[in-house]
Amino acid sequence: MNIAIFVSGRGSNLQAILNDSELKQIISIIAVVSDKIDCKAFEIARKSGIETYTIGDGDTKINAEQLTKKFLDLDVSLIVLAGYLKLIPDVLIKSFPNKMINIHPALLPSFGGKGMYGINVHKAVFDSSAKVSGATVHLVDSTYDTGKIIAQQCVDISDASSPEEIAERVLKIEHKILPEVIKAFALKKIKIGSNRIEIIKE
C-alpha cells in the first residue's frame, strides 16, 4: 500500500512508522509533505530515501492541486497526518475520502479543535485536572479534529507534575497506535460504519 505522510516538525511519529518492521513489509512511503521549507522530519525522510515536498505556492513548493494529482498518479491509498499542524486543503480531502487519518495527542472529542496542537493540548489537559489523557487516531474531514475516531488509548496522568510530562507519556502511545492503525488499513481491517469505525481482529 502506498502512503503519504504529512509532518510539521520533529517527526518522531514518522520515525515510529519507519521503525516498525511489520509495516515495512506492507507499506511504501512515497512522499513526506510539510508546510515548512525544512524541518527535522524532512531529514528523517531523506535519510530513508523518501521524496519530500513543501506544500504551498511558489517555485520551490507544490500546491494542493498538483499534490492531489501526484498522489492519484502514484496510487496513494492512505494519507497520514503525523504531527501536521495546518488544515488540509479541501481538494485533497475530497479526493481521498476515508483515506486520510490524523494522530491527535489527547482523547477526542475533548481537547481538540483550532489552536489545540502541541503543548497547548497538554497544558489544557493539565489545567483541566483530568486524571487520564491519551492519543486518538481519527479520519480527517474539513474541520480540525472532528472526523470519526478509529483508535484511542489512554494513559494515567494522575501523578503528572507538568504538561511536558503528559506530552511525554502521550507520545509513547502515539508511537504505538499510529503504526497499528496504518497496519490495519494496509491489511484492509478497517470497517467504516455510519457512526463507528471497527478494527477487525484476526
Residues in the chain: 202
Strands 149-156 and 76-81: unpaired
* Shortest spacing between CB 105 and ligand GRF, in angstroms: 4
Residue, CB closest to ligand GRF:
83
Count CB neighbours of 129 within 10 A: 7
* Shortest spacing between CB 108 and ligand GRF, in angstroms: 11
Nearest-angstrom CA–CA distance, 201 and 145 = 26
* Shortest spacing between CB 187 and ligand GRF, in angstroms: 23
Which C-beta is closer to ligand GRF: that of 156 or that of 164? 164
At 157 the three-state DSSP class reads: coil
Which C-beta is closer to ligand GRF: that of 9 or that of 113? 9
Catalytic residue, candidates 104, 122, 138, 175: 104
DSSP assignments along 112-165, one per residue:
-STT--THHHHHHHHHHT-SEEEEEEEE--SSTT-SPEEEEEEEE-TT--SHHH
Which C-beta is closer to ligand GRF: that of 92 or that of 135? 135
* Shortest spacing between CB 47 and ligand GRF, in angstroms: 15
**Amino acid identity for residue 39 in this structure:** C
Which C-beta is closer to ligand GRF: that of 78 or that of 103? 103
Among 96, 66, 63, 103, which residue's Cα sits nearest to residue 79?
A: 96
* Shortest spacing between CB 121 and ligand GRF, in angstroms: 8
**Amino acid identity for residue 160 in this structure:** A
Reply yes or no on whether 138 is catalytic: no
- Name the grid cell of 178: 499510529
Under 8 Å between Cβ of 103 and 174: yes
User: 175: which DSSP letter?
Assistant: H
Which C-beta is closer to ligand GRF: that of 16 or that of 184? 16
Binding site for ligand GRF (CB under 6 A): 7, 9-13, 41, 82-83, 103-105, 117-118, 171, 174
Q: Which residues are catalytic?
A: 104
